[in-house]
Amino acid sequence: MTTAATQPPADALVLFGATGDLSKRKLFPALYRMEDHGSLNVPVVGVARSDWNDAAFCQHAHDSILAAIPDAKAAVIDSLLARLDLIQGDYADPKTWKSLASTLRKHKSEHAVFYMAIPPSMFPTVAQSLASVGLNDRGRIVVEKPFGRDLASAKDLNTLLHTVFPEERIFRIDHYLGKESVEDLLVFRFSNTLLEPVWNRNYVRSVQITMSETIGVEGRGSFYDGVGAIRDVLQNHLLQVLALVAMEPPAGPASNHLQDEKAKVFAAMRPIDPTAMVRGQYVGYRDEPGVAPDSSVETFVAARVEIDSWRWAGVPWYVRCGKALKENATEVVVEFREPPSLLFDEAGGPAPERNLVRFRLGKHDGVTFTLQAKTPGPHLDSQNVDVAVDFAAALGMRREAYERLLDDALAGLPRRFAREDVVEQTWRVVQPALDSPDGVHPYFRGSWGPAEADRVICGDTWFPPST
Ligand code: NDP
Ligand code: BG6
């Protein structure tokens, strides 16, 4: 499924926050890869308040690329550096914006992409300042997450941005939507005929979505302590994954067809019931630099949600995510109902176990079907066997999320970005969780989170990730 661009291709990329952490770790390496693949054909203008000159900026870009890609090719780095320009100045100073407008004129740019890799508090200032020099006329903006802090602030931000840019020129980024493994959920479901007949409440017993990270908030304490796990990843990455697993097939290839189906999933979701949710905080979090010594911000959350639709009513969806957990894994496990016991087997034999379809979305992505096969021996018993595919081995090289999303933003393809109503619906779903900040349950680094998380899963067990 390919979709046509709905807008002209960009003729410049403007990077606000070019000196920041995201630019360093993700955006410059992505730009390098685009340069290497021949898909970067526009000037890249960094904007920074920091007192840097062009040489310092190029050195920073160079070092960022090598830190992420140690075997980066010097010639490719040089071609990328040749595209870079730096606008240095305070965002509150009109001269900064005049200088940006003049640099874009120099490049004869009429359709720039403005990437806001800056703190969310700065999104309104930058959007309005772009308008003050007429740069909102034909360009588009890419807005980083988190998009708002709750439903009200997300709506306010949408309203404000719409005074400057029309919806079709606002690209809300969620890098999970740029991951091949996440996009595969859609393709795998709807291109394998054997799945669709059983992908519903008649056959599916439960769905579990886990995003576990071994790292804590190293280096990002002050950001994280104002956000927490619900806002950092549950409202965006996890719910976007959930929508791809739950949704009906889109009616067509256009971005709006896909967004419409996601919006329907969220509209049918009941807001999180705080009594079906457990928040946790790893021991030692309060000692992290930038974290308040009495912080009650969650670094772990587990919740049970429901989708009140003909396809899913009655099926529990369990989601959990956390920092400083035992393993790095992002997985969706679809658990099917148990089959009848093998009536032709002798009495007393073990009942067949439930089938699982496990989508591995992180490193070593792929799919594993856990099926039943005959246990060798005289009895007609069954046991679990895994039928697994590793996508890297089977499909070869896939591009990184940020590279794909930057490519799309430059090409004017909105499908892998989040639409206004979809983002607002996700905030509606998590809002009660934000409004009821019960205490956080402590858990140890390297565990699977607080034991209280088992309360969410009503007598079942969390499936340990396979990686
Ligand atoms: P940083 O704190 O590193 O800041 C980014 C840049 O913004 C800084 O380099 C600074 O550049 C500029 N900046 C900071 N404060 C202000 C301010 N008050 N006024 C104007 N400019 C300011 O942030 P990150 O790079 O970590 O994050 C950028 C965006 O990306 C955020 O929205 C974040 O939520 C999002 N994000 C980040 C991720 C990450 O891994 N870092 C992951 C996912 C999303 P200068 O002073 O030179 O102008
Ligand atoms: C970011 C969160 O959006 O996603 C981080 O802000 C998190 O806290 C990161 O670590 C995880 O991304 P990935 O691609 O490594 O799973």
Each residue's pLDDT tens digit in the chain (467 positions)?
445 667 899 999 999 999 999 999 999 999 999 999 999 999 999 999 888 889 999 999 999 999 999 999 999 999 999 999 999 999 999 999 999 999 999 999 999 999 999 988 899 999 999 999 999 998 999 999 999 999 999 999 999 999 999 999 999 999 999 999 999 999 999 999 999 999 999 999 999 999 999 999 988 899 999 999 999 999 999 999 999 999 999 999 999 999 999 999 999 999 999 999 999 999 999 999 999 999 999 999 999 999 999 999 999 999 999 999 999 999 999 999 999 887 777 777 788 999 999 999 998 899 999 999 999 998 888 999 999 999 999 999 899 999 999 999 999 999 999 999 999 999 999 999 999 877 899 999 999 999 999 999 987 889 988 86
The ligand that comes nearest to the alpha carbon of residue 144 is 1
Dump strand ranges (E) for 419-463. 441-443
Q: Ligand 2, residue 176: give the atom nearest the CA.
A: 14
Q: Cis bond leading into 414, ω under 30°? A: no
3-state secondary structure of 92: coil
Structure letter (DSSP) for residue 236? I
Dmax (CA) of the chain: 85
The ligand 2 atom at the shortest distance from the C-alpha of residue 232 is: 6
Ligand 1 pocket mutation pick from 15, 16, 19, 21 by most atoms within 8 angstroms of CB: 21
Quick check: CB of 405 below 6 Å from ligand 2?
no
Per the CB < 8 A criterion, the answer to whether 261 and 405 are in contact is no
Cβ neighbors of 34 (< 8 A, separation 6 or more) are: 40, 403, 406, 407
Please list the active-site residues.
237
Return the DSSP state at 368.
Answer: E
Gap from CA of 79 to ligand 2 centroid (Å): 29
Determine which residue's CA is closest to atom 38 belonging to ligand 1: 22
440 closest CA partner among 229, 290, 211, 216: 229
SS3 (DSSP) at 282: strand
Residues with CB under 6 A from ligand 1: 17, 19-22, 25, 48-50, 91, 117-120, 122, 144-146
Best mutation site among 45, 118, 157, 217 for ligand 1, i.e. most ligand atoms within 8 A of its Cβ? 118
| Residue 90 burial class via C-beta count within 10 angstroms: exposed 0-12, middle 13-18, buried 19 and up | exposed
> What is the pTM (predicted TM-score) of this model?
0.96
215 alpha carbon, closest ligand:
2
**272 DSSP 8-state letter:** P
Strand partners, 375: none
